[in-house]
Amino acid sequence: MNWAKFRETGSPEDTDMSSTPISSDTTAVSKVIDPNYVLMVADFFKAISPDESCNDFTSFDSFSVLFQNNTRALSIARGRVSCSVTVTPGISNFFKGLHGGAVASIAERVAMACVKTVVSEDKHLFIGELSMSYLSSAPISSELLVEGTVVRTGRNLSVVTVEFKIKETMKVTYLSRATFYHSPISKL
């Protein structure tokens, strides 16, 4: 559909579109729908379209690029990792708060770093469970204090909790609990 011509005339009949859409360039608009609603929906999809700076996220560990500018390590000790996260528009949701997927990704990375301080390097770990509690939202340009603590570690599994707090008020915004399983190492 020719959106520029639709904006000018407000009528789908004046645009050059085929009767059956064969690609994303051709869109059929119902005659029953108000043209203003169609424009609002089209503008909405343009507003949420991905940024050109997000080029290739198909390679291994490419999502760390999204968080490397926002996350800064504060302290690392045995069984404890503390870091600071700044909420930017790149990792925020439509409601101008930290995106839930970003929270889970940061929680997983902090939990993995935390458990690596306790478990020996020759053990392979994989995450078996990650539970998230979204208590409150962290607005854009706020700074979060993220603290990971090993709750329990054993021969076969480790449990880590991660707390997200707003740095100014120390209000807990998100909680996470991750269970890591230790892969057995074969002794051949």
The answer to whether 106 touches 146, Cβ cutoff 8 Å, is yes
- Beta-carbon count within 10 A of 167 CB: 15
CATH topology of domain 64-183: Thiol Ester Dehydrase; Chain A (3.10.129)
- Beta-carbon count within 10 A of 146 CB: 24
For 122, list phi and psi in degrees, rounded to 5: -80, -10
pLDDT of the residue at 43: 76
Specify the 3-state DSSP secondary structure of 41: helix
Long-range contact set of residues 118-124: C-beta below 8 Å, sequence gap at least 24: 118/78, 118/79, 118/150, 118/153, 118/158, 119/153, 119/158, 119/180, 119/182, 122/185, 123/182, 123/183, 123/185, 124/182, 124/183, 124/185
* Domain limits, CATH 3.10.129.10, in the chain: 64-183
Q: Give, for all 188 residues of the chain, the pLDDT tens digit.
A: 555 555 555 555 554 544 444 444 566 667 777 777 777 777 777 776 655 555 555 555 555 666 777 888 999 999 999 999 999 988 899 999 999 999 999 999 999 999 999 998 888 899 999 999 999 999 999 999 999 999 999 989 999 999 999 999 999 999 999 999 998 766 66
